[in-house]
């Protein structure tokens, strides 16, 4: 009896494992049921922070002292956020290879932000809006396997409650991880990139996979550690996906941005690097222009992805 029971349990586990490996319908990655933060304007009418852009030189002149402390950062400052009530800076932010990092000028605000992050440890969080009394905050949370989800944060109770999660959030455990990586270009310049691999595979385990390079047609756009429906589509079909922040991409300083003439060489070096690691199969590399899948309906986006997939398999 024990032998028969063990056999049926093993059979069930095998069937479950096979189901887990089946590719999900392509539509699952591209569903457009996410909402934008402005949809919550009625519930959170007061936006307490103002973004000071690099083009606003007058505003930056008053923050020169704070700016000097940030000049040693490798990454560009994305913005300095100020209190709408006092005009004083609350924090500056920039994005590293993986996480958005903050430099807090206001200690109390920094403590508040730390409490919010502790409530959602697996996500990158952003304060979007506040109610008039500033007792409740609207929080946007994202990571490599979840598009933007929105939470309400109660300041007094230190409690978050989910307001909206996109359909992809339900697939979280079956989606692929995106690994931040760095490789040397031929002239020694360190280049950041993102590597998405089939579910349950790590960079150490992946071997000779067909590879798709996601790229922007506009050279100044950079990639981020975030959910990418295209990367998830290809990874679910057994491909490695590489997103390279080659020279000419924003976020790495003026010298890096102005060196766009080296962009194609950096991409070539990235492909050579992933092949040298044994992750990518030689002669099985395809390019996907992300701008082509931004327009059009879901069927058109999937069709473009399937054509690319056929060319690399």
Res 9: pLDDT: 55
Q: Give the residue-averaged pLDDT of 287-308.
A: 86
Res 41: pLDDT: 52
CA distance 251 to 75: 6
Q: Highest mean pLDDT: which of 2-6, 76-80, 243-247?
A: 243-247
Q: How confident is the model at residue 98 (pLDDT cuts 50, 70, 90)?
A: confident
Q: How confident is the model at residue 59 (pLDDT cuts 50, 70, 90)?
A: very low
Q: Give the residue-averaged pLDDT of 150-158.
A: 94
Phi, then psi, of 112 in degrees rounded to 5:
-60, -45
Q: How confident is the model at residue 215 (pLDDT cuts 50, 70, 90)?
A: very high
Residue 248 to residues 76, 97, 156, 251, Cα–Cα distance (Å): 13, 16, 45, 10
Which residues have a Cβ under 8 Å from the Cβ of 63 and sit 6 or more positions away? 52, 80, 89
pTM for the model stands at 0.82
pLDDT of 66 above 50: yes
pLDDT of 296 above 80: no
pLDDT tens for residues 28-51? 888 766 565 555 555 555 544 444
Q: How confident is the model at residue 240 (pLDDT cuts 50, 70, 90)?
A: very high
CA distance 99 to 192: 13
pLDDT of 212 above 50: yes
Percentage of the chain with pLDDT > 70? 79
Res 38: pLDDT: 57
Q: Give the residue-averaged pLDDT of 91-116.
A: 89
User: Which residue did the predictor score with more confidence, 33 or 186?
Assistant: 186
Q: How confident is the model at residue 14 (pLDDT cuts 50, 70, 90)?
A: very low
Which residues have a Cβ under 8 Å from the Cβ of 4 and sit 6 or more positions away? none
pLDDT of 20 above 70: no
Map out the domains of the chain with their CATH numbers. Answer: 37-169 (no CATH), 176-312 (3.40.50.1820)
DSSP class of residue 29 equals H
Mean model confidence pLDDT for the chain: 82
pLDDT of 17 above 60: no
């Amino acid at each position: 009896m024990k032998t028969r029971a063990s056999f049926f349990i093993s059979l069930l586990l095998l069937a479950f494992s096979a189901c887990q490996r089946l590719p999900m319908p392509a539509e699952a990655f591209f569903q457009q049921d996410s909402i934008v933060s402005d949809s919550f304007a009625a519930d959170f009418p007061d936006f307490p922070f103002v973004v000071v852009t690099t083009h606003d030189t007058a505003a930056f002149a008053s923050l020169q002292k704070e700016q000097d402390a940030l000049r040693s950062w490798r990454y560009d400052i994305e913005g300095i956020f100020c209190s709408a009530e006092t005009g004083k800076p609350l924090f500056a932010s920039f994005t590293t290879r993986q996480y958005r990092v903050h430099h807090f000028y206001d200690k109390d605000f920094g403590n508040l932000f730390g409490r919010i992050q502790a409530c959602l440890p697996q996500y990158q969080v952003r304060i979007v809006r506040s109610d008039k009394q500033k007792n409740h905050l609207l929080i946007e949370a994202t990571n490599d396997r979840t598009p933007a989800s929105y939470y309400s944060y109660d300041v007094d109770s230190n409690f978050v409650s989910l307001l909206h999660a996109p359909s992809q959030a339900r697939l979280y455990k079956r989606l692929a991880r995106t690994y931040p990586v760095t490789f040397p270009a031929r002239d020694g310049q360190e280049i950041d990139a993102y590597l998405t691999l089939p579910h349950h595979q790590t960079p150490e385990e992946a071997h000779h996979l067909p590879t798709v390079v996601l790229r922007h047609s506009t050279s100044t756009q950079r990639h981020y550690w975030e959910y990418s429906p295209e990367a998830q589509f290809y990874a679910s079909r057994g491909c490695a996906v590489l997103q390279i922040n080659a020279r000419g991409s924003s976020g790495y300083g003026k010298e890096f941005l102005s060196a766009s003439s080296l962009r194609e060489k950096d991409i070539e070096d990235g492909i050579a690097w992933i092949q040298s690691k044994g992750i990518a199969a030689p002669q099985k590399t395809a390019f996907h222009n992300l701008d082509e899948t931004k327009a059009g309906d879901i069927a058109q986006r999937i069709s473009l992805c399937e054509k690319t997939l056929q060319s690399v398999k």
